[in-house]
Chains A and B, each alone.
Chain A
Amino acid sequence: MSAVTETEAAAFVPADARRAGRMLNAAIIILLCVWVLLPIYLVLVNALSDPQTVTGWPKHFVPTFDLGSLSFFISYAGVLKALGNSVVVAVLTMVLSLGFGAPAGYALARFDFPGKGVFRLLVLMTRAFPLPLLALPLAVMFIRTGLDDSLFGLALVHTTLALPFSVLITASLFSGIPFELEEAAWTLGCTRLQAVRKVVLPLALPGIAASGVFAFVTSWNEVFAAAVLTIRNRTLTAFLIQSLDVSPLPLKFAGAAVLVLPALIFLFAVRKYLFSLWGIANR
């Protein structure tokens, strides 16, 4: 690294130093990939091993391919419905938090107005207060209004968790996009809304997608409100995972794998949306 930084101009860097730098970068990237993937691999090893191996020591780093623990969860009655519920709640949360959050983020980024600080503070407070304490008054309100035990009601609660992030993330994105671009669009005859839609949104889309993904996983992983507010319509976490802490080790790991896998698949499915749009954004 130091060889590179000390050089005055990049153009004069000798070819072999450059190659060494590239190699170093590649090595760091691979190392970081291993750092992320190794723990997940290990939990999969445990999930795919027979109970004796899981409680045994020393551990093996290759699974024994015993599906006993996993099949317990997969054959659990109602697991598919719970999976469906989780997806619906998470998608609703994503839509709601972006629908409410993105306009607010735009307002924070583009305008100076009295009350801006108060709104920002309100948004931050929402996330800085532990949700499980709010679950009681919320549950009372939901039971009284009939929102209790509905996926939509749960999505509303999850939206309070996700909204602060979508407001903050979109605000930072919008303020990173030069206002001049919008003004240029106005001079070309666009209305304010058109300018936002045609100029700002495409640029901000990767970031908006990112905050949407974050809303999705926030909802996906939330246990407490889901356990209190849904009875017949349990989400996967509330249905299955909340008792893992008191379950035997092999089931703990199998449960953790069941919880992790759908999130991996979801992220894989939306990765294009998340990242490939950079090509556009960079221009």
Chain B
Amino acid sequence: MLGKQFTLRGALSALAVTAGLSAAFGAGAARADGMLFWSTQARPVEEAQAVREQVLAGFGAPVDFQPQDNGPFFTRIQAELESGKGTIAVLGGLHADFSTLVPNMIDLDDVAGTLGDAHISQTFTGLSKLGTDHYKYIPWMQASYVMAANKKALQYLPKGADINALTYDQLIEWAKAMKDATGSPKFGLPAGPKGLLHRFFQGYAYPSFTGSVVTNFRSPEAVAMWDKLKELWAVAQPASTNYGFMQEPLLTGEVWVAWEHTSRLQDAFNKMPDDFVAFPAPAGPQGRGFMPVLTGLAVLKTAPDAAESKKLISYLMKPESQVAMLKATGFFPVTDAKLPDDMPASMRISGAAIQAQSGAKDAVASLLPQGLGELGGRFNKVYTDSFQRIVLAGQPVKDVLDDEAKVLKSIMDEAKAPCWAPDKPSEGTCPVN
């Protein structure tokens, strides 16, 4: 009997305590904790913390920096847009993240006007208008993809190969030599679900082999490229399909040579600066393809106080803030902010490789996809699917390319997107030949 009464009373008091607690915590909801800075960038926990402590602390007003995975990022944005009531003050994201939000972002021409002497490159300011006549986002930070190698791998370089001017053939030969010597494949690619491999095809392989990304998608040159990539894959670490950030297998020694986003290499470079080198991506018959990464800052129409949001953007574009971001995230300034002498090792190592890559005689610069809007994800899927079908599943190259070319064409038609570099400028929609 006692027991029963005890449980009932226990349940009731638990209810009362919870109600009290939630009232106490709920009261905090109304209190403003500063502007909400909603971002897909600087997600790794220690980067996020560095952004808060080293970049945003100097703003003067409290800023609540919340890096998010794509899912929560877009769900929250869409919910705020649909309900017409926003909490998010500033958005931080990739060029591609913004392309779906064009009609819902306020123009930032006035902010861009105050940045006159920051000298953001024309390419970037052009991209940031997202096909309109106005700045839809302010270019924030940039990065690129380079090759990284453990110094142990250098002894297996093919004879006569210059690490700063490798070709795809030499890379394959190198990877094969390492595999033969160590008994385990030592070349790796970020082909996991969080990996950025689609950019390897769009910005590196396709431009190097076909001088194009869209138009020559299923050309004979493209067929030759996929055959080469199959050769490369045969001597690559098969665990690549699990890799998201190549710094991890590089640090564990599972992989010695890799292609990767510079900020996803920084942990390896910083922890073991004397063990790694960075160098430009290899070249194909059409040259040395490479692609920049561009992040930006934007304000949604639903932002609670647009003037405050713009103030934060201006602050983030100051040279000091850009340098602080560089240290916190491994992304490089888009402005000509003077780089400090005490840069982390990763900046030194990857900075030199980026320069060598974009400055190479045979460089083929590739821009980020433009004008695709919300079809950007589907566009990427064409390239990753081609890879998975041709290289992983072993389906016939020609058939897969014909198949995926249809999908690609329907995407381009739906988006009515004109060509972007390295494809030649088009009249109207970019053709898929």
In the complex, A touching B, CB below 8 Å?
yes
A: which residues have CB within 8 A of B?
Answer: 51, 55-57, 72-73, 76-77, 84-85, 88, 91-92, 95, 132, 135-136, 139-140, 142-144, 148-152, 155, 197-198, 201-202, 205, 224, 227-228, 231-233, 240, 242-249, 251, 255, 280
Asked if B28 and A244 sit within 8 Å, CB to CB, the answer is no
Could you write out 7 A-B pairs with CB less than 8 Å apart?
Answer: A55-B252, A139-B75, A140-B83, A155-B22, A232-B31, A242-B72, A243-B44
Q: Select A57's contact among B4, B8, B252, beta carbons within 8 Å.
A: B252
Given A197-B4, A227-B68, A248-B46: A143 and B253 interface contact (C-beta under 8 Å): no
Chain A residues with Cβ under 8 A from B52's Cβ? 77
Q: Across the two chains, which residue of chain A brings its CB closest to B32?
A: A232
B48 within 8 A of A: yes
A92–B279 CA distance with the chains assembled, in angstroms: 55
Give Cα distance in the complex from A144 to B252, angstroms.
Answer: 49
Interface residues in B32-90 (C-beta closer than 8 Å to A):
33, 36, 43-46, 48-49, 52, 64, 66-69, 71-72, 75-76, 78-80, 82-83, 85, 87
- Judging by beta carbons under 8 Å apart, are B67 and A143 in contact? no
User: Once the chains are docked, how many angstroms separate the CA of A248 from the CA of B253?
Assistant: 15
A interface, over-half SS: helix
Complex Cα distance A251/B36, Å? 25
Most buried by B among A132, A227, A246, A255: A246
**Is the beta-carbon distance between B29 and A132 smaller than 8 angstroms?**
no
Cα distance, A231 to B80, chains bound together (Å): 13
Interface size (B, Cβ < 8 Å)?
A: 49
Residue B247, interface by CB 8 Å: yes
CB < 8 Å: which of B18, B21, B31, B271 contacts A51? B271
Partner of B25, one of A85, A136, A228: A85
Please indicate the chain B residues that have their CB under 8 angstroms from the CB of A143 in the complex.
Answer: 79-80, 83, 85
Instruction: Indicate if the CB atoms of B29 and A249 lie closer than 8 Å.
Output: no
In the complex, whether B7 has a CB less than 8 A from a CB of chain A is yes
Report the Cα distance A281→B52, complex, angstroms. Answer: 54
B251 within 8 A of A: yes
Contact, CB under 8 Å: B76 / A228: yes
Q: Which residues of A contact B3 (CB under 8 A)?
A: 202, 280
Are B7 and A205 in contact, with the CB atoms below 8 A? yes
Please provide the 10 A-B residue pairs with the shortest distance between their CB atoms, ordered closest to farther: A139-B79, A227-B72, A143-B83, A247-B44, A55-B251, A243-B43, A140-B82, A55-B252, A140-B83, A228-B72
Is A246 within 8 A of B43, CB to CB?
Answer: yes
Q: Are A224 and B44 in contact (CB under 8 A)?
A: no
Min C-beta distance of A240 to chain B, whole Å: 7
B267 adjacent to chain A (CB < 8 Å): yes
Q: Roughly how many angstroms separate A224 CA and B137 CA in the complex, as a whole number?
A: 27
| Besides A76-B49, A91-B18, A246-B244, 17 other A-B contacts (C-beta < 8 A) | A77-B52, A88-B22, A88-B25, A91-B21, A139-B79, A144-B85, A155-B22, A197-B8, A198-B4, A202-B4, A232-B33, A233-B25, A233-B29, A242-B68, A243-B44, A243-B67, A248-B44
CB pair B248 A248 closer than 8 Å: yes
How far is it, in angstroms, between the C-alpha of A227 and the C-alpha of B38 when the chains are bound? 11
With both beta carbons as reference points, the residue of chain A lying nearest to B76 in the complex is identified as A228
Residues on the A chain within 8 Å of B31, using CB: 232
Contacts of A198 in B (CB 8 A): 4
Q: Shortest distance in angstroms between A80's beta carbon and chain B's nearest beta carbon?
A: 12
- Among B44, B45, B79, B83: residue with most chain A CB under 10 A: B45
Q: Is the CB of A91 within 8 A of B14?
A: yes
Residues of B with C-beta under 8 A to A197: 4, 8
- Complex CA gap A51/B44 in Å reads 16
B78 touches A72 (CB 8 A): no
Contact partner, A92, options B4, B18, B253, Cβ 8 Å: B18
Q: Are B29 and A232 in contact (CB under 8 A)?
A: yes
B245 on the A face (CB < 8 A) = yes
With a cutoff of 8 Å between Cβ atoms, the chain B residues found around residue A201 in the complex are: 4, 7
Report chain B residues within 8 Å CB of A249.
248, 251-252
Pairwise interchain contact B22-A152, C-beta atoms closer than 8 A: yes
In this assembly, does B194 line the interface, its C-beta being within 8 Å of a C-beta of chain A? yes
The answer, yes or no, to whether B352 is at the interface (CB within 8 Å) is: no
- Contact present for A139 and B44 (CB under 8 Å): no
**B74 nearest in chain A by CB position:** A136
